[in-house]
Each structure stands twice: as structure tokens, then as C-alpha cells.
């Protein structure tokens, strides 16, 4: 199959809708990462998404809604009635935007989307191309990140092509994703709101909106919850080149968000040190992270060393992705980096 890449236009939109209505898949930009989209209410299409991605069928998908109106989604059998008041509040406040809500599923959602769970993940993305596509198609698109399973999420069309060339007919090119890491996933099905995957919308902002505490699932404090979000594997966003988290700053540089492309044969000289966020903003670090990891991978160094992440509202999200991507930690000892493999249970 020839994979075409088209900038959004009236013609590209028509073509995308035709492909989707025909049951095939289209990769499209969102503000977080590119999605691999297909009609979310059609079982065969959803199965095709899992197949193309090489994703285990036990890892449920997000439905991208054509509007922020949860009442409309409930009438369409996407989410169950009654809609949790917290869901309404959060949709009002954060949609369109990088927040995914887990609520009880409606009767129209195929079991393939939710991997058999009685809950469904929904979000209304803010990228203008995603909105145009969703509005035109007028129904939910199931869309995981447009990478092959276990690999880094793509944040521009060329990265999608690298992942899925020949496997899908069309990639809508909407430029680089402004946000750069996947949406915050928040479960509203338990006693308290629970963050299953940290993202740019922090626990603190959600908590201030709902005026209740928001718990964060972390693999260390709630190992039993892995079944509640089957996709949250310890290793997930890994580059091929092993990545190590430095236990102390790389050098006494002023600038945060550094990383080194490292080969043990070479001294980690300052020319090997690169800056993830030249403006020192955590949002820029997030925006650049996956692109840089892809580049670092292509450079065929033997390791990527990442500076400790400074504190900011983005810290949980950045740490989450980097820890999942990591092979271990790097400690500066006796004038060189010692690489310590991560123990996973
Ligand atoms: O930013 C994003 O969320 C991107 C863009 C394309 O929207 N999508 C994305 O999808 O990251 P994906 O499939 O790569 O990640 C979805 C996450 C998985 O960790 C999955 O386990 C979780 O959401 N999830 C989906 N449905 C769920 C459910 N019913 N209960 C718990 N977790 C769920
Ligand atoms: Mg993904």
C-alpha cells in the first residue's frame, strides 16, 4: 500500500473521510501526538487499528469525539448515563484539550475499543485539523498514538511515516504537535478521580477544578491497578538506543533539560551535550522530547543520558515517559558515567 502524506485542505479532508467511511485508517495530528484513526464504532476497523499497530488487544483505545458535548455522546450511546458531574465540569474546563476521561461506556461502543472493560476513554482534541476531521466525519474516531506498539509516539508527519509507511493509505500532515506528549488520562469511575497517565494537565489543576483530591497512579504505590489501565506497561515509549536517567546533573551548566548522546569510548564532552529546551521551559522540553529521542536513536550512539528533570507542573508527565523509556540510571563515578540497569518486577 502506498502511504500518502497530505497537508489539510478541502480535498485532503474529503479524501480522509472517504477512506475512513470505507473502513480504512488515517493518521491525523492532535495537539499531543499523532493518532492512528479509524471509525470507533465499527469492530472490524478497530481490529484493524490493533493489527496495524501490532498492539495487544488487551490495551484499550481512546475515542476522539466530534464535540465537547458529553450529553450528545450519551445520546449517541458512546458514554453511559448518568454522566458523572465531574466529567461535565472537566469537559467544560479542559476541552478541547489534552485530557482523556474514563467513564462508563455506552451501548454503541464495541468491546474491541475498550478491551472488554465496561469503561471507555474519551477526549475532544484541540488541534484544528483533528477538529475539522472529527466534525466532518461526525462520529467518534478510535485513535491510539500512530506508532508501532512499544515505540515512541510520533509528533510530526515524518515520524508517522517512519512508523507506518506502507501500512495505511493516508497521513494528514498538520505540522509538529504543540504539546508533544500524550494526554492526561483520568479515571472517573472509582471513588476518587485517579490519574492513570500523567500529562500536561496536572493533578493539581484537575483537583482545583473539582475541589477534591486527585490521586495519581504510579507503578510503585499502586501495583494492583495495572489491570485498571492495561496499557500502562512499565516499558512503553522506548527508543532502541538505551536511555539512562542521570542521578546527578550532567555538568554544572546553568541550563536545565540537557541530554548527552553517549558512547563509552568517547568522553562526554560538552559538544556531545544537547539541550532539550533552549528556552528552559518544561513545555518546550515536552514538545521536543519524542523528536529528540528519535534523532538520538538515528545517530546510533550507544546510550542517551538524560539530565535530572527540574520541578514544574510537567515533572510527573516528563518523568513518567522518561522512566518508561529508560534502561536504567547513570551515576557519575570516578570521572565517568556508570550505567546501572533498571530492575523491573
Ligand atoms: O494524547 C493522546 O491521548 C493520544 C492522541 C492520539 O489522542 N492517544 C494516545 O492513545 O496516547 P494510546 O492508545 O497510545 O493511549 C491510550 C491510553 C492507554 O494507556 C490505555 O491503556 C488507556 O489510555 N485507556 C484507554 N481506555 C481505557 C479504559 N477504558 N480504562 C483505562 N485506561 C484506558
Ligand atoms: Mg501510545
Averaged over successive runs of 10 residues, the pLDDT of the chain (345 residues) comes to 97 98 98 98 98 96 98 98 97 98 98 98 98 98 96 96 98 98 97 96 98 82 45 60 87 66 57 78 93 82 84 94 92 86 74
CA-closest residue to ligand 1 atom 21: 231
Q: Using a 6 Å cutoff on CB, does residue 146 contact ligand 1?
A: no
Q: Using a 6 Å cutoff on CB, does residue 184 contact ligand 1?
A: no
- The confidence score (pLDDT) of residue 73 equals 98
CA-closest residue to ligand 1 atom 31: 229
CA of 229 to the centre of ligand 1 (A): 9
Given the C-alpha cell 465540569, which residue does it identify? Answer: 89
- Residue 244 has, within 13 A of its CA and on its CB side, a CA count of 25
**Cβ atoms of 148 and 54 closer than 8 Å:** yes
- The confidence score (pLDDT) of residue 262 equals 65
Task: Report the chain's terminal Cα–Cα distance, integer Å.
Answer: 40
Q: Which residues make Cβ contacts (< 8 Å) with residue 151, sequence separation at least 6?
A: 163, 237, 238
H/E segment holding residue 170? strand 170-173
CA of 112 to the centre of ligand 1 (A): 13
Orientation of helix 282-298 relative to helix 315-325, angle to 10°: 10
Q: Using a 6 Å cutoff on CB, does residue 305 contact ligand 1?
A: no
- The confidence score (pLDDT) of residue 227 equals 44
- The confidence score (pLDDT) of residue 292 equals 87
- The confidence score (pLDDT) of residue 280 equals 85
CA of 184 to the centre of ligand 2 (A): 12
Amino acid at each position: 500500500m502506498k502511504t500518502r502524506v497530505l497537508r489539510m485542505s478541502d480535498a485532503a479532508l474529503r479524501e480522509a473521510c472517504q477512506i475512513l467511511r470505507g473502513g480504512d485508517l488515517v493518521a491525523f495530528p492532535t495537539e499531543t501526538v499523532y493518532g492512528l484513526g479509524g471509525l470507533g464504532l465499527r469492530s472490524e476497523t478497530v481490529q484493524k487499528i490493533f493489527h496495524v499497530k501490532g498492539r495487544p488487544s488487551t490495551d484499550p483505545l481512546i475515542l476522539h469525539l466530534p464535540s465537547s458535548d458529553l450529553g450528545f455522546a450519551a445520546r449517541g450511546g458512546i458514554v453511559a448515563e448518568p454522566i458523572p458531574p465531574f466529567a461535565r465540569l472537566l469537559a467544560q474546563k479542559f476541552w478541547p484539550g489534552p485530557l482523556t476521561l474514563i467513564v462508563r461506556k455506552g451501548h454503541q461502543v464495541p468491546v474491541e475499543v475498550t478491551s472488554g472493560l465496561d469503561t471507555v476513554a474519551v477526549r475532544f482534541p484541540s488541534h484544528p485539523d483533528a477538529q475539522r476531521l472529527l466534525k466532518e466525519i461526525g462520529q467518534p474516531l478510535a485513535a491510539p498514538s500512530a506508532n508501532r506498539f512499544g515505540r515512541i509516539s510520533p509528533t510530526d508527519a515524518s515520524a508517522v511515516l517512519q512508523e507506518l509507511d506502507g501500512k495505511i493509505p493516508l497521513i494528514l500532515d498538520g505540522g509538529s504537535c504543540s504539546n508533544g506528549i500524550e494526554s492526561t488520562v483520568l479515571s472517573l469511575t472509582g471513588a476518587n478521580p485517579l490519574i492513570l497517565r500523567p500529562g500536561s494537565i496536572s493533578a493539581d489543576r484537575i483537583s482545583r477544578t473539582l475541589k477534591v483530591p486527585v490521586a495519581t497512579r504510579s507503578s510503585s504505590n499502586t501495583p494492583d491497578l495495572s489491570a485498571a489501565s492495561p496499557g500502562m506497561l512499565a516499558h512503553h515509549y522506548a527508543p532502541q538506543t538505551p536511555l539512562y536517567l542521570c542521578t546527578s546533573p550532567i555538568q554544572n551548566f546553568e541550563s536545565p533539560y540537557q541530554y548527552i548522546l553517549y558512547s563509552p569510548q568517547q568522553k562526554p564532552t560538552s559538544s556531545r551535550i544537547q539541550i532539550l529546551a533552549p528556552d528552559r521551559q518544561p513545555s518546550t522540553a515536552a514538545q521536543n522530547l519524542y523528536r529528540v529521542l528519535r534523532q538520538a536513536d538515528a545517530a546510533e550512539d550507544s546510550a542517551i543520558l538524560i539530565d535530572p528533570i527540574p520541578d514544574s507542573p510537567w515533572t510527573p508527565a516528563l518523568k513518567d515517559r522518561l522512566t518508561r523509556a529508560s534502561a536504567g540510571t547513570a551515576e557519575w563515578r570516578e570521572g565517568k558515567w556508570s550505567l546501572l540497569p533498571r530492575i523491573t518486577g
